[in-house]
Amino acid sequence: MKKLLVVALLIAFAATAAFAADVVTFEAKNGNVTFQHKAHGEKLGCDACHEGTPAKIAIDKKTAHKMCKSCHKAKGVSTSCKTCHKK
């Protein structure tokens, strides 16, 4: 019984991971932002952004800059507007 549950959880986890989008586009009036989700995950590991089992992270206009730019700053990646916003 316990074993079955573990298997079910593993399948559920695999299914979620498989459905994570490779690329996410955030619409912004000053130029849409293409977020290379898969590439970020491969380079940084899921833990860099997700706590525990990766799941939906709510990104909106208020939280996006805090999340995206703070790490870019820390890692020495450009935070100029054009790095993310493309017209």
- Using CB under 6 A as the criterion, which residues of the chain lie in contact with ligand HEC when the complex forms? 16-17, 20, 24, 26-30, 33, 35, 37, 40-41, 43-44, 46, 48-50, 54-57, 59-61, 64-65, 67-69, 71-72, 75, 77-79, 81, 83-85
Q: Which residues contact 83 (CB under 8 A, 6 or more apart)?
A: 72, 77
How far, rounded to the nearest angstrom, does the alpha carbon of residue 42 sit from its chain's CA centroid?
A: 11
Q: How far is the CB of 24 from ligand HEC (least distance, A)?
A: 5
Q: How far apart are CA 42 and CA 51, in angstroms?
A: 16
* Whether the Cβ atoms of residue 81 and residue 30 lie closer than 8 Å to each other: yes
Q: Is the Cβ of residue 4 or residue 58 nearer to ligand HEC in the bound state? A: 58
CB closer to ligand HEC out of 3 and 27 = 27
CA–CA separation, 71 and 75 (whole Å): 6
The residue (of 8 and 65) whose beta carbon lies closer to ligand HEC is 65
